[in-house]
Structure 1
Amino acid sequence: MTALEHIARTNVLFLNWRDPAHPQAGGAEAYCYEIARRLTGSDARVTLFAARFPGSRASESADGVRILRRGGTFGVYLAAAAHLLRNRHTYDAVVDFQNGIPFFSPLFTPRWTANICVIHHIHQQQFDLFFRWPMNTVGRLLEKQISRLTYHGRAVVVVSPSTRQGVRAELGFHNPIYLVPNGSPRPHTSPVARAGTPTITVLSRMTPHKRVDLLLKALPELRRAWPQLRVELAGDGSELPRLRALAADLGVDSAVTFHGHVSEDKKRELLGRAWLTVVPSVAEGWGLTVIEANTMGTPALAFDVPGLRDAVRHGHNGWLVAGDVPLSRAIATALTELRDASARDRTARRCRAWSASFSWDDSAERLAQVVLEETRRVHRHVRSRRRVSDLAVLTRFEARDGDAVERALNTVLRETDRWSRRGDSFSLLLHGCDEVRAFQALRRLGVREAVLRLAHRREELVRPEVSDAGAPEPLPAPTGPRPGARARRDPA
Structure 2
Amino acid sequence: MDIGTTQRPLRVLMLSWRDGDHPEAGGAEVYVERTSQLLTARGHTVTMFSAAFPGGSRRVDRGAVRIVRRGGRLTCYLRGLQFLRKVRDEVDVVVDVHNGVPFWSPLAGATPVVSLVHHVHRDQWPIIFGPVLGLLGWLIESRLAPIVYRHCQYVTVSQATRDDLVALGVDRDRIAITYSGNDVPDDLDSYADLARSDHPSLMVLGRLVPHKHFEIAIDIVADLSDRFPDLTLDVVGGGYWDDELRAHAAARGVSDRVRFHGFVDEHTKRTLLSRAWVVLMPSHKEGWGLTIVEAGLHGTPSVAFSFAGGVTESIVDDETGLLADDVTQMSTQVSDLLMDAALREKYGENARRHAKSFSWENTTLQLEAALGQAVARRRY
Q: Fold match, TM over 0.5?
A: yes
Cα deviation, 1:12-43, whole Å, max 9, x if unaligned, reads: 00011100000110000001111010001112
Q: Does 1:174 align with 2:171?
A: yes
Q: State how 1:183-198 maps to structure 2 within 5 Å.
A: 183-187=181-185, 188-191=188-191, 192-198=194-200
Alignment: residue pair count = 372
Q: Does 1:331 align with 2:334?
A: yes
Evaluate the alpha carbon distance shift between residue 34 and residue 4 of structure 1 in structure 2; reply closer, same or farther with a 3 A threshold: farther
Measured after TM superposition, the shift of residue 50 of structure 1 is: 0.3
Q: Report if the CA contact (8 A) 2:337-2:344 is conserved.
A: no
Within the candidate set 110, 114, 117, 2:115 is matched to 117
Q: What residue in structure 2 maps to residue 226 of structure 1?
A: 228
Separation (CA, whole Å) in 2 of partners of 1:36 and 1:233: 29
User: RMSD value over aligned CA atoms?
Assistant: 1.5
Separation (CA, whole Å) in 1 of partners of 2:139 and 2:347: 44
Separation (CA, whole Å) in 2 of partners of 1:81 and 1:74: 12
Match of 1:349, SS state, is helix
Within the candidate set 285, 288, 291, 1:289 is matched to 291
Q: What residue in structure 2 maps to residue 165 of structure 1?
A: 163
Evaluate the alpha carbon distance shift between residue 319 and residue 243 of structure 1 in structure 2; reply closer, same or farther with a 3 A threshold: same
Q: Report if the CA contact (8 A) 1:4-1:364 is conserved.
A: no
Name the stretch that deviates more: 171-180 or 149-158.
171-180
Separation (CA, whole Å) in 2 of partners of 1:324 and 1:183: 29
Within the candidate set 318, 322, 337, 1:315 is matched to 318
Q: Does 1:63 align with 2:66?
A: no
Cα deviation, 1:232-272, whole Å, max 9, x if unaligned, reads: 11011121101111111211111111001111111101101
Evaluate the alpha carbon distance shift between residue 344 and residue 148 of structure 1 in structure 2; reply closer, same or farther with a 3 A threshold: closer
Q: Report if the CA contact (8 A) 1:201-1:232 is conserved.
A: yes
Name the stretch that deviates more: 39-48 or 244-253.
244-253
Q: Report if the CA contact (8 A) 1:198-1:230 is conserved.
A: yes
Cα deviation, 1:31-75, whole Å, max 9, x if unaligned, reads: 111101000111210001000000100101012100000001111
Q: Report if the CA contact (8 A) 1:59-1:67 is conserved.
A: yes
Separation (CA, whole Å) in 2 of partners of 1:218 and 1:33: 34
Q: Report if the CA contact (8 A) 1:92-1:375 is conserved.
A: yes
Match of 1:88, SS state, is helix
Measured after TM superposition, the shift of residue 348 of structure 1 is: 2.5
Evaluate the alpha carbon distance shift between residue 73 and residue 162 of structure 1 in structure 2; reply closer, same or farther with a 3 A threshold: same
Identity %: 35
Measured after TM superposition, the shift of residue 326 of structure 1 is: 4.1
Measured after TM superposition, the shift of residue 197 of structure 1 is: 1.8
Q: Report if the CA contact (8 A) 1:316-1:347 is conserved.
A: yes
Q: State how 1:443-454 maps to structure 2 within 5 Å.
A: none
Evaluate the alpha carbon distance shift between residue 371 and residue 47 of structure 1 in structure 2; reply closer, same or farther with a 3 A threshold: same
Q: Report if the CA contact (8 A) 1:214-1:327 is conserved.
A: no
Separation (CA, whole Å) in 2 of partners of 1:7 and 1:260: 43
Measured after TM superposition, the shift of residue 84 of structure 1 is: 1.1
Separation (CA, whole Å) in 1 of partners of 2:197 and 2:327: 31
Separation (CA, whole Å) in 1 of partners of 2:164 and 2:327: 22
Q: State how 1:269-418 maps to structure 2 within 5 Å.
A: 269-305=271-307, 306-323=309-326, 325-338=328-341, 340=342, 343-380=343-380
Match of 2:279, SS state, is strand
Return the structure number with greater helix share: 2
Cα deviation, 1:120-157, whole Å, max 9, x if unaligned, reads: 11112321011135422321122122111111121111
Letter matched to residue 299 of structure 1: P
Evaluate the alpha carbon distance shift between residue 6 and residue 268 of structure 1 in structure 2; reply closer, same or farther with a 3 A threshold: farther
Separation (CA, whole Å) in 2 of partners of 1:366 and 1:204: 26
Q: What residue in structure 2 maps to residue 262 of structure 1?
A: 264
Match of 1:246, SS state, is helix
Letter matched to residue 211 of structure 2: H
Letter matched to residue 56 of structure 1: G
Match of 2:246, SS state, is helix
Separation (CA, whole Å) in 2 of partners of 1:125 and 1:345: 34
Higher relative contact order, structure no. (Cα contacts within 8 Å, ≥ 6 residues apart): 2
Evaluate the alpha carbon distance shift between residue 228 and residue 134 of structure 1 in structure 2; reply closer, same or farther with a 3 A threshold: closer
Q: Report if the CA contact (8 A) 1:4-1:39 is conserved.
A: no
Q: Report if the CA contact (8 A) 1:272-1:296 is conserved.
A: yes
Measured after TM superposition, the shift of residue 3 of structure 1 is: 4.2
Greater C-alpha Rg: 1
Separation (CA, whole Å) in 1 of partners of 2:13 and 2:222: 49
Q: What residue in structure 2 maps to residue 99 of structure 1?
A: 99
Q: What residue in structure 2 maps to residue 76 of structure 1?
A: 76
Q: What residue in structure 2 maps to residue 483 of structure 1?
A: none
Letter matched to residue 231 of structure 1: L
Gaps in structure 2 of 5+ consecutive residues: none
Q: What residue in structure 2 maps to residue 12 of structure 1?
A: 12
Separation (CA, whole Å) in 2 of partners of 1:15 and 1:281: 25
